[in-house]
Chain A
């Protein structure tokens, strides 16, 4: 009788543990998918490109890149190619590029958790 009770208890515990492991794995997967480098690469590239498009010449735009820094500490995570009007963000994923239509030369300086884009005079 005790043996049977023990067996049922062990089976129930294993059943609950496996279910818990499954749900924890699912939650980790969903959380990881939403916080992957590729999601933030797209987010920052589009945000920076739209900010450049909206700005006038001789403007400095400061971006908080604290979240990007969690993925990469490299100095060249944000590149702005003024020749091809392209913002490229690489946080260790595949990288993401987005173009802007403004014809001002733009440079970017990365300082700790801040990125400063400087929009110059007309080309």
Chain B
């Protein structure tokens, strides 16, 4: 009878120890999960690329009319569209093309990180997830009197933690 009582007590202690282990394990998993979740930053690269392409479109075309400065040889996209060269070179890409109705390129301008042009074409789909470190891009096309204006903008800007 006594041995049975002792066995029950021992079982109870074992259960407590096991339960503490389960709680510690569950707690550890929750803590690690939360830390991983909040270590990821909000991805605004798509929004940035979209804003950049829309800004360029609104700067170069007004009510279907192309800003004729664009056709001149000394056209400067930075001063014309109020873009900062240092910022664009650090993590953005811009490609502007004026095409005729047959699709022939009449004029092209490419600024910022040139490697983004190819990287933008490696886009994710339902089967392939786009790598996190690849730039996010936006493409816009608008018809103007002189042809078709095509703008491609990409962003891969990362914020900086700590001052």
* Contacts from A to B (Cβ < 8 Å): 11, 15, 19, 22, 25-26, 29-30, 33-34, 36, 38-39, 42-43, 45-46, 50, 53-54, 57, 84-85, 88, 90, 94-104, 122
Hey, which chain B residues are within 8 Å of A99, CB to CB?
Answer: 87, 90-91, 157
* Interface residues of B, Cβ cutoff 8 Å to A: 12, 16, 19, 23, 27, 30-31, 34-35, 38, 41-42, 44, 47-48, 51-52, 55, 78-79, 82-84, 86-88, 90-92, 157, 159-163
- Cβ contacts under 8 Å, B23 to chain A: 19, 22
B44 touches A50 (CB 8 A): yes
**Pair B42/A46 contact, Cβ less than 8 Å:** yes
Inter-chain contacts of A101 with B (CB < 8 A): 48, 52, 83-84, 87-88, 92
On chain A, the residues within 8 Å of B78 by CB distance are 103
Least CB separation from A79: chain B residue = B163
Q: Tell me whether chain B's interface is mostly helix, strand or loop, or mixed.
A: helix
Contact (Cβ within 8 A) B42 A102: no
Q: Tell me if B30 and A26 are in contact (CB < 8 A).
A: yes
26 A-B residue contacts at CB 8 Å? A30-B34, A34-B38, A36-B38, A38-B161, A42-B159, A45-B159, A50-B44, A50-B51, A53-B48, A54-B55, A84-B86, A85-B84, A90-B163, A95-B161, A95-B163, A96-B161, A97-B163, A98-B157, A99-B91, A100-B84, A100-B87, A101-B52, A103-B83, A104-B82, A122-B79, A122-B82
B91 CB contacts on chain A under 8 angstroms: 99
Complex: A99 Cα to B83 Cα, angstroms: 12
Q: Is the CB of A96 within 8 A of B51?
A: no
CA distance in complex: A72, B111 (Å):
40
- Which A residues touch B157, using CB under 8 A? 98-99
**A29–B83 touching, CB < 8 Å:** no
The minimal Cβ–Cβ distance linking A68 to chain B, given in whole angstroms, is 16
Whether the pair A50, B48 counts as a contact (CB closer than 8 A) is yes
